[in-house]
């Protein structure tokens, strides 16, 4: 019988149990440690050459550091008896280390590549920091507007998007801004200039600033630019208004509409907030831009020596401008120097020719055609020129903004059409646009598809009976994106 001291567990197939397996592994582990691992450990000097297992055991209990063979000193961290043995083991392990290292590298590479980019993380943390800051201190973005750096403009021109708007039109304004940003301005971050005859509310400022990609600025209109001048006979104004109302003329009874038309005709471009700009794009609340604009129209106009850009053209209500043409003729008689050769007189007067060098008068009957000014991309310097300043002052003295209901659209159109050669006026046929109740859509395949337009090419005001664009095409030629109706 085995004595307890030399007892060894045996693998007994017939008597297989948990205890037997456990004892088997425990015994194997002890054998491995004593036979295989212990001999690899450095041999303490006290034990070298004297080699008794009890001496060796007591040396391990000794707290003093083991003294090594001096030749093995550089490898003392390795549990090998000699340098050669250690190097042998290093060479054996090297391939495994290399293979493992390779996989670790590949793994970390893919993990790194799928990680968010540093700028994204920075931006996310900026947004978080800004929002957390604002909510902690109960501030709005506008409170910080003066403190935070203004968004960096990416477009190359001295240009601003301009909106004359009331606080009550906030939702329609946001709709226009959102669309303008999506379709164009997020690439360029041109600034937005908002103008109002009343102070903008914090709510208006906060929402519009939040929607704009560029910097925003808010201007209050001077009182004398939005009130009836002293030379105007108010009784006559009242009488004429009532007469126009009785004829159901649109906006006939609205004094604020008259102020708006006068302001857009003669003052917006003089607002101090616009002083630093050369170009503007007029945007109205509640309009739609149907297509991506894949170039900068300010740069386009500048590079092609253009001054005024439009999309739609139509007839004006006769009764609202009944004396405008006669006053314009008188003005030209006084200032023939402003009449441009090769102008657009043939667009305004059917059968007429453009003015020629040396002409001193204009004649004929005005056909009421004008560029629809709720969309304008133009050069502010033209409105600031001596020619236009004199024209506006002359018209303002006649009082037609109040006695009649002169709109800024025919006034801008007549000035651009008479003081500029036709080649400096551009029709943006590749821009899809809606200002209720009319819309137009680029007709050519390229503008429509590459611009990702959502308008139907059948809804096309351009050749509507009320549109003046066919006349423009006749005298100026068709622009890219214009054309007759096509089926979708
Ligand atoms: N601040 C301000 N803006 C106005 C006023 N009336 C009109 N507007 C703006 O002037 C532009 C033209 O007015 P709108 O009502 O659209 O005229 P419509 O396009 O001729 O029908 C729009 O941008 C309006 O927001 C007003 O009384 N105050
Ligand atoms: Mg409008």
Least confident residue range of 27-31, 52-56, 268-272, 410-414: 52-56
Q: Cis ω on the peptide bond leading into residue 415 (within 30° of 0)?
A: no
Q: Which atom of ligand 1 is nearest to the CA of 164?
A: 23
How far apart are the C-alpha atoms of 462 and 381, rounded to whole Å? 29
**420, 440, 412: which is closest to 312 by C-alpha?**
440
Q: What confidence tens digit (pLDDT) does each residue in 325-378 have?
A: 999 999 999 999 999 999 999 999 999 999 999 999 999 999 999 999 999 999
Kindly report the protein residue whose alpha carbon is nearest to atom 27 of ligand 1.
Answer: 256
CATH superfamily of 222-266+287-476: Spore Coat Polysaccharide Biosynthesis Protein SpsA; Chain A (3.90.550.10)
Interval between CA 228 and ligand 2 midpoint (Å): 22
Q: Are 311 and 375 within 8 A, CB to CB?
A: yes
Token pair 């969309």 in the structure block, residue: 375
Question: Does residue 196's CB lie within 6 angstroms of at least one atom of ligand 1?
Answer: yes
For residue 376, indicate whether it is catalytic: yes
Using alpha carbons only, how large is the chain's radius of gyration in Å? 43
End-to-end CA distance of the chain: 103
Those residues whose C-beta lies under 8 Å from the C-beta of residue 219, and which sit 6 or more positions away, are 193, 194, 195, 196, 271, 272, 273
Neighbours of ion ligand 2 (CB under 5 A): 284, 374
* Mean pLDDT to the nearest integer, 278-297: 98
**Ligand 1 pocket check: which of 171, 174, 250, 260 to mutate, most ligand atoms within 8 Å of Cβ?**
260
164: helix, strand or coil:
strand
Task: Quote the CA–CA distance of 198 and 222 in Å, as a whole number.
Answer: 10
- Domain spans in the chain, listed from the N-terminal domain onward: 18-44+62-106, 222-266+287-476
CA–CA distance, 385 with 392 (Å, rounded to integer): 11
How many other β-carbons are positioned within 10 Å of the β-carbon of residue 321?
Answer: 23
Q: Which of 19, 376, 393, 459 is catalytic?
A: 376
d(Cα 170, Cα 259) in Å, to the nearest integer? 20
For 174-214, the pLDDT digits (tens) are: 999 999 999 999 999 999 999 999 999 999 999 999 999 99
Position with higher pLDDT, 125 vs 286: 286
- Condensed to tens digits (0 to 9), the pLDDT of residues 212-265 reads 999 999 999 999 999 999 999 999 999 999 999 999 999 999 999 999 999 999
Mean of pLDDT values over 161-166 = 98
Read off the pLDDT band of 62 (50, 70, 90): very low
Which ligand 1 atom minimizes the distance to the CA of 264?
10
């Amino acid at each position: 019988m085995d004595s307890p001291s030399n007892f060894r567990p045996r693998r007994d197939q017939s008597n297989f149990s948990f205890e037997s397996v456990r004892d088997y592994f425990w015994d194997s582990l002890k054998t491995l440690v004593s036979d295989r691992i212990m001999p690899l450990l450095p041999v303490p000097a006290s034990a070298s050459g004297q080699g008794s297992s009890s001496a060796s055991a007591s040396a391990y209990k000794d707290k003093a550091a083991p003294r090594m063979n001096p030749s093995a000193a550089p490898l003392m961290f390795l549990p090998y008896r000699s340098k050669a043995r250690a190097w042998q083991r290093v060479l054996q392990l090297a391939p495994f280390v290399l293979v493992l290292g390779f996989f670790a590298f590949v793994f970390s590479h893919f993990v790194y590549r799928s990680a968010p980019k540093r700028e994204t993380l920075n931006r996310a943390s900026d947004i978080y920091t800004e929002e957390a800051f604002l909510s902690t201190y109960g501030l709005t973005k506008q409170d910080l507007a003066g403190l935070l750096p203004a968004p960096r403009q990416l477009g190359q021109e001295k240009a601003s998007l301009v909106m004359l708007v009331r606080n009550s039109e906030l939702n329609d304004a946001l709709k226009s801004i959102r669309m303008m940003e999506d379709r164009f301005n997020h690439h360029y971050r041109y600034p937005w200039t908002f103008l109002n005859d009343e102070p903008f509310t914090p709510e208006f400022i906060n929402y519009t600033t939040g929607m704009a990609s560029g910097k925003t600025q808010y201007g209050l209109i001077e009182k004398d630019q939005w009130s009836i001048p002293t030379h105007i006979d108010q009784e006559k104004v009242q009488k004429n208004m009532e007469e126009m109302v009785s004829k159901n003329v649109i906006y006939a009874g609205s004094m604020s509409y008259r102020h708006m038309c006068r302001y857009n005709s003669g003052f917006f471009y003089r607002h101090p907030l616009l002083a630093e700009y050369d170009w503007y794009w007029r945007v109205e609340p509640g309009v739609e831009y149907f297509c991506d604009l894949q170039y900068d129209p300010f740069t386009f106009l500048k590079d092609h020596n253009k001054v005024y850009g439009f999309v739609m053209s139509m007839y004006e209500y006769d009764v609202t401008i009944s004396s405008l043409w006669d006053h314009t003729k008188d003005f030209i008689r006084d200032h023939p120097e402003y009449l441009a050769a090769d102008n657009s007189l043939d667009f305004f007067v059917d059968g007429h020719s453009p003015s020629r060098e040396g002409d001193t008068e204009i004649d004929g009957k005005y056909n009421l055609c004008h560029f629809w000014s709720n969309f304008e991309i133009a050069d502010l310097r033209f409105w600031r020129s001596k020619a236009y300043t004199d024209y506006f002052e002359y018209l303002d003295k006649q009082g037609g903004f109040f006695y009649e209901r002169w709109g800024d659209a025919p006034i801008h159109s007549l000035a651009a059409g008479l003081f500029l050669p036709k080649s400096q006026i551009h029709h943006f046929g590749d821009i899809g646009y809606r200002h209720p109740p009319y819309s137009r859509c680029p007709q050519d395949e390229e503008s429509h598809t590459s611009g990702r337009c959502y308008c139907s090419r059948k809804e096309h005001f351009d050749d509507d009976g009320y549109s003046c664009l066919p006349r423009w095409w006749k005298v100026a030629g068709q622009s890219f994106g214009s054309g007759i109706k096509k089926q979708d």
